[in-house]
Amino acid sequence: MRAPPPADDRHPVLRLVEIMARLREPGVGCLWDLEQTFATIAPYTVEEAYEVADAIERGDLADLRDELGDLLLQVVFHARMAEEADAFDFAAVAEAINDKMIRRHPHVFGDVTHRDVAEQTRAWEAIKARERAAKATDAPKSLLDDVPLGLPALTRALKLSQRAARAGFVWPSAREVLAKLHEEVAELEAEIAAGDVDKAREELGDVLFVCANLARELDVDPEAALRTTNAKFLRRFKFIEAELAVRGSSPEASTLEEMDGLWDAAKAAERP
């Protein structure tokens, strides 16, 4: 006979920790949960973080609550596997972030004062730099080494350029970045004209990296900007599909000229 789930009168977080422990208990737990590892769960963790961002983008607070729960489950899942390996547990995860937040906010929990947000941000980065230095080994370490490899490429490009910019390796203004963007686009056009796909792919990467630099210069999150454009494209393409359906047609049965005209109509419909 299986044991009942943890009692409802426990703190919700403690109850979640107990539920995960039960799911991972050999012999009585969930077979799928039992066979998971840090590596197999990591993609789900990233996916849940994106679903949180999606709920925020849509302004759906009810969905946000559920998605934050799914993300919390990922933290509990990783912590449980670490506890089974005698590395750390969920309480240690919470304690570590508690200590970090207090350490990084001396202007709240100490007697430090800042004149504005910009000064506070510089102080935050200085604290993080000291933390990195404290973790460093005797081997030479690059300023860029701890920018996570697992980040989406566009986000990682932004963070790499931000880190390099703090060291002074930065274009003076957005105008210079735009000039570099035009230069890289010209190089991409040349490789496309030459029919060299490998070099064109490399040049396209250069274009995207410069775009990330431009986003940094404009203080824009490139992922958020691209998500907005994705939503705009989706909205306009659905308009095309709907208009074609009224005509008894579909994108597959239409010409590019027809769809391009409807695209312009979709743009016009969005204008105030």
Residue 233, in any domain of the structure: yes
pLDDT over 90 for what percent of the chain?
73
**Chain segment 59-107, per-residue pLDDT in tens:** 999 999 999 999 999 999 999 999 999 999 999 999 999 999 999 999 8
pLDDT over 70 for what percent of the chain?
96
**pLDDT bracket for residue 155 (50, 70, 90):** very high
CA dihedral 113, 119, 123, 126 (to 10 degrees): -160
Residue 175, in any domain of the structure: no
**Chain segment 11-24, per-residue pLDDT in tens:** 999 999 999 999 99
Residue 95, in any domain of the structure: yes
Spell out the residues 6+ positions from residue 216 whose beta carbon is closer than 8 angstroms to its own: 158, 161, 162, 165
Spell out the residues 6+ positions from residue 266 whose beta carbon is closer than 8 angstroms to its own: 235, 236, 239, 240
pLDDT of residue 233: 96
pLDDT of residue 119: 87
Domain boundary among 103, 120, 144: 103
The CATH number of whichever domain residue 76 belongs to comes to 1.10.287.1080
Residue 75, in any domain of the structure: yes
Per residue, what are the HEC states of 78-116?
A: HHHHHHHCCCCCHHHHHHHHHHHHHHCCHHHHCCCCCCC
Q: What's the pTM?
A: 0.69
**Chain segment 210-249, per-residue pLDDT in tens:** 999 999 999 999 998 998 999 999 999 999 999 999 999 9
Work out the average pLDDT over 114-124: 87
pLDDT of residue 84: 98
Residue 49, in any domain of the structure: yes
Domain boundary among 53, 84, 103: 103
Residue 182, in any domain of the structure: no
Residue 67, in any domain of the structure: yes
pLDDT of residue 137: 65
Higher pLDDT, 6 or 128: 128
Work out the average pLDDT over 132-137: 75
pLDDT of residue 151: 86
Average of per-residue pLDDT values in the chain: 92
Q: Which domain holds residue 22?
A: 12-103
pLDDT of 2 > 70? The answer is no
Spell out the residues 6+ positions from residue 184 whose beta carbon is closer than 8 angstroms to its own: 203, 206, 207, 210
Domain boundary among 57, 75, 103: 103
pLDDT of residue 253: 96
**Count of domains observed in the chain:** 2
Exposure class string for 118-139: b at 16+ Cβ within 10 A, else e: eeeeebeeeeeeeeeeeeeeee
pLDDT of residue 207: 98
Residue 238, in any domain of the structure: yes
